[in-house]
Amino acid sequence: MTPSTNIADLRKSYEKAELSESASHPDPLKQFDQWLQEAIRSEVPEPNAMTLATVGHDLRPSTRVVLIKGLDERGIVWYTNYQSRKGQDLAGNPFAALQFHWVELERVVRIEGVVEKVSDEESDAYFHSRPLDSRIGAWASPQSEVIEGRSVLVANAAKYGAQFLLRPPRPPHWGGYRLKPEQWQFWQGRKSRLHDRLRYTAQADGGWLRERLAP
């Protein structure tokens, strides 16, 4: 079957911005926050969406999109079902990678590091800030498990909605993860495929080694 569009011919010239050593922050967290804020101000679709990559006990990688919900010097936080595939992967192998792709700004950020659960207090605080439907949904969805149909989710939501009314507690199988970055990469698209690519690697003294990589 011949596709209606030849995907090998799809090309784009990247010419919006540049990324130099002199103009970038020596601290990758500050560089990331600057780019994230610019993505938010530019109203790119879901600037907080990131791809999370994990590796399971079978050594097979898996990716999915999650939403960043916290950022500070301790790392990057998201929330999910601990019994999901990603939760099971992280229980056996706590190393993971994140990627942000802000297409409209021609930018990519890649982050690698070790992952740990956030405290119960942090998970409780975020859970109770969520809309009621989302809190019920955390109970209703046996994430990553096979179900017979959508009716299972609807029935579970009705069941837990009736049980908890307006005050559902945080499920014991639901909470936050924090990735502590050990390496960052910032990619800015440039003309002629000569892209800018800066890598930051954590050092033993707490600082960061910043290096330019060939694209």
Positions annotated as catalytic residues are 193
Overall residue count recorded for the chain in this entry: 215
186 contacts 28 by C-beta, under 8 angstroms: yes
Side-chain half-sphere exposure of 10, counting CA atoms within 13 A: 5
- Comparing CA positions, the residue from 199, 187, 176 lying closest to residue 18 is 187
Q: CA-to-CA distance for 100 and 33, rounded, in angstroms?
A: 12
Helix (H, G, I), strand (E, B) or coil at 124: helix
Q: CA-to-CA distance for 190 and 15, rounded, in angstroms?
A: 5
> Residue 136 — left, alpha, or beta (φ > 0 → left; ψ -120 to 50 → alpha)?
alpha
- Comparing CA positions, the residue from 12, 9, 15, 10 lying closest to residue 191 is 15
- Comparing CA positions, the residue from 58, 47, 126, 51 lying closest to residue 96 is 51
86 contacts 97 by C-beta, under 8 angstroms: no
